[in-house]
Structure 1
């Protein structure tokens, strides 16, 4: 991994140390160039110059294939979405639910993979069953299996919850689900571009993810994987040209027999082109190299943060269960004060609830600060951030 070149590719590093990829990552210049080159051409050529438009749609199809290969799928199993939330909703609203169907998820789920299921339950379409987790934040596969019964239709889980950083045993979860003939939806918004993903090895039925986080793609980009055998079971939430075929003579329409059926209307071309460039960039580095570097940085960050007086670090105590996301509080300092002081010193982290209601209740706190280093970060940046927090403790203590 050529860290020097990687940091050159990210102009932000000339001014800031950015340790907040769990929210969104600064894209490398190559991603920005892919988008701006297209926009410049639309200004100079017009977006619908026939030859140009044909070239662009060929690129979109090529990127669909790249994304598919990146996660071990086929191109017919990939749909583009604007974000992970939209992709999740395509499945929530696209499946035909039967009376008595039950859906299992954990209490640590992010807002966007909880509220859509609550809506279905409020409409009487499903019964939602919530698995309680302990402070480790790691789902117990054994406890999960105990919740499965003949009415269980779906298990959905975040591969890496946005607040706790507890990497979930998704392969084991999918194996248990298959054993009981239960569908699986994996929210990979915090692992796409961070963890090697092979949907065939994972054996999940659906996988949703955004592109703006660990993959370092643009906002407005996301993907949805639908297992080929299940494509016809998904009724698109939005319909129009792009995802349907319309027979003018009979005035009948049909959905495309591929995952693209959930896409309606003009694709968000700049975001898709940026997503393709982000996949190319991650591929050039190597997803396994990215994963190993972030694992090392995670361990180093936890060790450095542990030297801060009065700190409480939340989530898995076993470092083997934690990846990339480290939430914490420091006695005597509010999370907002920590982030403000670091920003004044050109270091970006984040503070908030992260919509992690269960986790907040477990630790009896209202908010947290959060480090989320990516492969472009350095140990020196982590050390400087930690030293600044110690400086802030001394500064506040003198007032």
Structure 2
């Protein structure tokens, strides 16, 4: 297994760039660069090598399954987590269990899918946050026998808070509701075991902490789960034999592939394989420990510099980012960018995201640059 120092050396761009934006896009690795060149090579050498490309898609599926401890036939390959959420919602009958439980800490693209189900008879019930934290008891109070689906992020995009996912899933299961976990902000830096979680669905994309590029996501579908109806957005890759080319008949595989639709993004599949292979060379528990220690250092350093944070002070609740409150985070991010420091502004927060390749020197650099920005009147 690679140490954090060995892992960092696989990211040549970090010699000139302080990358603290993995909550938006992971840093470019040598493995990812080589994979994208390999895709270009297949175009030049073979023209349209669909056999080779589909092997890469299935390789990405297999590697993600290994990462989350799922069976390969429990993983669907989709273009985005939004698509995954829609596919899940489309299989539910809201007439008998109309309530969807969500939270304001949910990423809007997923939350909007749930809201759109109100046209089909669903009703969304929100769990409030309290100073950036969501409590298990508030989810519990929102879950009852009317719930058809309970949605809980593993980690919130807003401030990096860990949600009480296991407790929520257990309570939802007891009430007879299916569960959807958005793991986008944790997969790659947070150990995930779908067997231990006990969730029905879990989704994550490749471009953030999984170290790939946009265009591909994965949906775990618990084996044996029965849909109320077939997925409503479908296509040839949602067939038992996609290359049967039969426009007059439709069938659905028994596994997670029934949730797939059109042609997968092949360059993104190459990128996903590259990122997942790199993550296969590290111990996920070591990654979490590294980020926890570095996150505490970042929290303490920013507080000492006089910054107001909206990420949790409790390290048990803090995921892979620290969130700085600012009146104009886009301007602050632009200033940092001019100093070759990549961060991610959202709303009234500047998100400072950490990965296994991040270092204390990276934290020192962003804290010093923010201090410089404040002194200049920002």
User: Which of the five TM-score ranges fits, normalised by the shorter chain?
Assistant: over 0.9
Q: 1:386 aligns with which of 367, 370, 373?
A: 367
CA deviations on 1:61-116 (whole Å, 9 max, x unpaired) are 23322211211111111011112222111112232332451111122211012111
Comparing 55-64 and 207-216, the one that deviates more: 55-64
2:278 aligned residue: 281
Q: 1:260 aligns with which of 245, 257, 265?
A: 257
Give the Cα–Cα distance (whole angstroms) in 1 for the partners of residues 371 and 321 of structure 2.
Answer: 20
Supply the RMSD in Å over aligned alpha carbons. Answer: 2.2
Query: What are the equivalent positions in structure 2 for 1:235-254 lying under 5 Å apart?
Result: 235-245=230-240, 251-254=248-251
1:342 aligned residue: 336
Give the Cα–Cα distance (whole angstroms) in 2 for the partners of residues 134 and 249 of structure 1.
Answer: 53
TM-score normalised to structure 1 length: 0.88
Offset of 1:372 from its aligned partner? 1.1
2:30 aligned residue: 29
Offset of 1:232 from its aligned partner? 4.9
Assess, with a 3 A threshold, how the Cα gap between structure 1 residues 57 and 302 changes in structure 2: closer, same or farther. Answer: same
Q: Is the 8 A contact 1:104 1:154 kept in 2?
A: yes
Assess, with a 3 A threshold, how the Cα gap between structure 1 residues 324 and 250 changes in structure 2: closer, same or farther. Answer: closer
Q: 2:320 aligns with which of 307, 317, 324?
A: 324
Q: Is the 8 A contact 2:299 2:322 kept in 1?
A: yes
Q: Which runs of 5+ in 2 are unaligned?
A: none
2:55 aligned residue: 58
Offset of 1:280 from its aligned partner? 1.3
Q: 2:66 aligns with which of 69, 93, 100?
A: 69
The alignment partner of 1:69 has SS state of: helix
The alignment partner of 1:119 has SS state of: helix
Give the Cα–Cα distance (whole angstroms) in 2 for the partners of residues 337 and 70 of structure 1.
Answer: 37
Q: Is the 8 A contact 1:232 1:257 kept in 2?
A: no
Assess, with a 3 A threshold, how the Cα gap between structure 1 residues 253 and 343 changes in structure 2: closer, same or farther. Answer: closer
Give the Cα–Cα distance (whole angstroms) in 2 for the partners of residues 3 and 313 of structure 1.
Answer: 26
The alignment partner of 1:178 has SS state of: helix
Does residue 132 in structure 1 map to residue 113 in structure 2? no
TM-score normalised to structure 2 length: 0.92
Does residue 180 in structure 1 map to residue 181 in structure 2? no
Assess, with a 3 A threshold, how the Cα gap between structure 1 residues 284 and 236 changes in structure 2: closer, same or farther. Answer: same
Q: 1:211 aligns with which of 201, 206, 209?
A: 206
User: Alignment length, in residue pairs?
Assistant: 375
The structure whose Rg is larger is 1
Comparing 128-137 and 185-194, the one that deviates more: 128-137
Give the Cα–Cα distance (whole angstroms) in 1 for the partners of residues 13 and 300 of structure 2.
Answer: 26
Comparing 162-171 and 234-243, the one that deviates more: 234-243
2:8 aligned residue: 7
Query: What are the equivalent positions in structure 2 for 1:290-329 lying under 5 Å apart?
Result: 290-309=287-306, 311-329=307-325
Does residue 19 in structure 1 map to residue 20 in structure 2? yes
